[in-house]
Amino acid sequence: MQSFDIFSDTVKAKTAITEFAPVTYDGALAGATDLVYGVARCDADIGNDVAVVVLGTAQVHLTEDVAPGDLLIPDGTGKVKKGTGTGFARARKTGAAGELAEVFLIHAIA
């Protein structure tokens, strides 16, 4: 499995963050309706900096099976699930629940 980050940044963790978790612009673990800034490259405790992949591909934990092109949203626990509306990523390949999967990061335009 791989990931290719074109742009990474750091944010101060507002909540405990786990590696591969979707993260908001203000450094919180992203929920289903949150605007996602990127995906954490490492774990971070509250108040610590966390590296976030903002543009490119990243690894995420899946809560359900996905097919290439499926739109993904955070589930609020640091993992992702299929969704509708404004997602933050698309599945790159087929993936099974409980696995890590590579995704293309996308950013919503309001």
For residue 4, the model assigns a pLDDT of 79
For residue 23, the model assigns a pLDDT of 97
Neighbour-count burial for 26-45, b at 16+ CB within 10 Å, e otherwise: ebbbbeeebebbbbbbeebe
Residues 6+ apart with CB under 8 A from 62: 79, 80, 81, 95, 96, 97, 98, 99, 100, 101
For residue 86, the model assigns a pLDDT of 80
For residue 92, the model assigns a pLDDT of 95
For residue 45, the model assigns a pLDDT of 97
Which helix (H) or strand (E) is 76 found in, with range? none
**Closest by alpha carbon to 29, among 37, 4, 89?**
37
Q: What is the mean pLDDT of each run of 10 residues along the chain (110 residues)?
A: 84 97 96 94 97 96 97 95 90 96 83
